[in-house]
Chains A and B, each alone.
Chain A
Amino acid sequence: MGAPTTSAAKRTSAAKPASATKRVRGPRESLFSRAGAMLVMAICTFYFLVPIWWLFVAATKDRSDFTSSAPLWFADFNLIENIAALANYRDGLFFQWMLNSVLYAGAGAAIATLFATMTGYALAKYAFRGRETIFNIILGGVLVPATALALPLFLVFSQVGATNTFWSVFLPSLVSPFGVYLARIYASSSVPDELVEAARIDGSGEVRTFFTVSTRLMMPAMVTIFLFQFVTIWNNFFLPLIMLRDEELFPVTLGLYIWNSQVSQIPEIRALVIIGALLSIIPLIIAFLGLQRFWRSGLGTGAIK
């Protein structure tokens, strides 16, 4: 199944002439259905983007404008002042949280991707006893949700006295069973046996072949695994919630949650929650935009089998 990537690419490039012929031939592709389709798209765009637009606009307002001006349009532009206020509040605790999140999610997803790719590759390219058993156990792991594991993990970490540490949130995030599943499917379709064999004949060791040849072919899958593990860790809430007590260790989601629950006691914190919420989604949007070429083709592979 090397098909997904190539055929996807082929079809996007072929899309224009194909739709041109369709316009001539397709008997029922009327203006009416075209307009209907565009209307659905417009309504959905509105639904998906208005909340984010509102957040952006709200983050640019000072406290009096927030309640007195039109919610969906700008008043005085105070974005920079608001960010400065956020940076000053409690010695920039918010930016410590952002840094923590980047560290948990960035380093965690990078290591998780490497380990998942290695395992998926081994499961795809080598025949060995117990291979299917191992794969089925890992597949079972895909069906066990992260939140169901949070409490058991807490029990284990408290047994060894390691709760409320960086490691208690970081280490569990290095495991990505879905990544192994994706890597296996992708490796069996996109890394030809002949190529591995050729590398062998050239005298390359198995490990060297993996790192120099196979990882290049598996790059779309690896970017996909990285991104989705990154998002999973970035969005993770339950695990830090039960593991961490020390504010300095919080990821940004937990920090903003705690602030939001304090709004009734400290009303001025509300503006910080809003500007913080806006800043917290920017890294993910950048990651998705920057890497979308890779992960879309990789994701298709996982969905087909």
Chain B
Amino acid sequence: MTTTVARPTAPTKKVKKRAVTKNRGAVIFFITPFAVLFSLFYIIPIIAAIYQSLLTVEREGTFGKPTEVFGGLVQYARVFQDDAFWQSILRVAGFGVVQVPIMLGVALLLALLLDSPLVKGKRFFRLAFFAPYAVPGVIAAVMWGFLYSPNLSPFTAITSEINFLGADLVLWSIANVVTWVFIGYNMIIIYSALLAIPSELYEAARLDGASQARIAWSIKIPLVAPAITLTSIFSIIGTLQLLAEPQVFKSFTSAVTSTYTPNLLIYSTASVPNVNLAAAFAVVLALLTFALSFTVLKLTQRKAD
């Protein structure tokens, strides 16, 4: 076994190695533009932010000239003592725990229905559900802000009874806006994965008399698990980075404060300006996002094995 495998691989490796030296110029040509931009606008900013977060401003006396000196982890100590920051993290975490499963659950249901023979007029529904994705988050928030407002809404019967912009509900009103925009996007990703499953896989199940629901549960959902992982990761990233929608809702209601979500807090800290603390917030938030997405990726990969 080993000899049969080893023999063919050894020559191919040699061929490939020769190909590398031959094509080095092409590889450099293809990769350089992206690599330069990626370094300039991804890697350098991240390094700059980490560097900034390690500095602290010192003044000579109360009115002295401020100078930036190396402060070690001073800013990070502040981050960990900042209640508003952790409250905002908890808020978006609660938001995500509720909103992401609902959004992905509905997206999966709609994708399965679109893929089933139960539904007629698929083309129309696909476009109708996807249309909100063409509405930028800011614009969607402005629109829904009008729809929620007690006197302008088409649904005054509801909005005069329930205050969607009050402190109790505004988080879920924002969740609704995000859900509205992104269900269709997630649905399309899952639906595309469903279309790629060869239909022969269903035939045996169908002959055995399995219902559409059974086929969906036992065959389709396991096979589109990677697509669901992908959408989960993007949703987690999106939740922790919530900014545009609450920022817009600030002009509709006083219930949304300038520390409502982590990104709003970072923005208001940076415009105080306390750039060093804002940089530390940004680094911690990026690490949290990264850690969470990575965990989801690993957990679902292990499940798949």
| Chain A residues engaging chain B, CB cutoff 8 angstroms | 3-4, 7-8, 11-12, 14-15, 18-19, 22-23, 25-29, 33-34, 37-38, 40-41, 44-45, 47-52, 54-55, 58, 66-67, 70-72, 115-116, 118-119, 121-123, 126-129, 134, 138, 140-141, 143-149, 151-156, 159, 171-172, 174-175, 177, 180, 205-207, 210, 231, 234-235, 237-238, 241-242, 253-254, 256-257, 260-261, 263-264, 273-274, 277, 280-281, 284-285, 287-289, 296-297, 299-300, 302-305
Q: Does B142 contact A (CB under 8 A)?
A: yes
Q: Count how many pairs of residues, one from A and one from B, have CB atoms less than 8 Å apart in the complex.
A: 312
Interface of B, secondary structure class, is helix
Choose from B31, B121, B128, B224 the contact partner of A122 (Cβ within 8 Å).
B31
A299 touches B189 (CB 8 A): yes
Query: How many residues on B have C-beta within 8 angstroms of the other chain's C-beta atoms?
Result: 111
CB distance from A111 to the nearest CB of B (A): 9
Which residues of B106-148 are within 8 A (CB) of A? 106, 109-110, 113, 116-121, 125, 127-140, 142-147
The residues of A that contact B147 with a CB separation of less than 8 Å are: 51, 54
A147 touches B241 (CB 8 A): yes
Choose from A134, A206, A304 the contact partner of B226 (Cβ within 8 Å).
A304
A51 touches B143 (CB 8 A): yes
> B37-78 toward A: CB 8 Å interface, digit per residue (1/0)?
110111011101100100000000000000000000000000
Q: Which of B26, B129, B289 has the most chain A CB within a 10 Å cutoff?
A: B26
Choose from B45, B125, B151 the contact partner of A149 (Cβ within 8 Å).
B45
CB distance from A277 to the nearest CB of B (A): 5
* Complex-state Cα separation, A83 to B84, whole angstroms: 43
With contacts A19-B117, A33-B118, A127-B19 taken as known, whether A237 is within 8 angstroms of B244 at the C-beta atoms is yes
The residues of B that contact A304 with a CB separation of less than 8 Å are: 193, 196, 226-227
Q: Does B259 contact A (CB under 8 A)?
A: no
The residues of B that contact A147 with a CB separation of less than 8 Å are: 241, 243, 263
Q: Which of A144, A152, A205 has the most chain B CB within a 10 Å cutoff?
A: A152
* Complex-state Cα separation, A185 to B219, whole angstroms: 24
Choose from B113, B127, B152, B211 the contact partner of A289 (Cβ within 8 Å).
B127
B195 touches A300 (CB 8 A): yes
The residues of B that contact A171 with a CB separation of less than 8 Å are: 37, 40-41
Q: Does B270 contact A (CB under 8 A)?
A: yes
The residues of A that contact B93 with a CB separation of less than 8 Å are: none
**What are some 19 contacts across the A-B interface (CB < 8 A)?**
A11-B199, A18-B199, A22-B206, A26-B211, A27-B211, A33-B211, A34-B118, A41-B110, A44-B128, A126-B27, A129-B20, A140-B290, A146-B241, A151-B282, A171-B40, A177-B42, A237-B138, A257-B142, A303-B231
* Complex-state Cα separation, A163 to B236, whole angstroms: 30
B117 touches A29 (CB 8 A): yes
Q: Which of B29, B35, B147, B192 has the most chain A CB within a 10 Å cutoff?
A: B192
14 additional contacts (CB under 8 A) given A119-B35, A159-B48, A303-B192:
A4-B192, A7-B198, A41-B119, A143-B289, A143-B294, A148-B241, A152-B282, A171-B37, A175-B34, A206-B26, A235-B138, A281-B135, A299-B192, A303-B231
B113 touches A41 (CB 8 A): yes
Q: Does B79 contact A (CB under 8 A)?
A: no
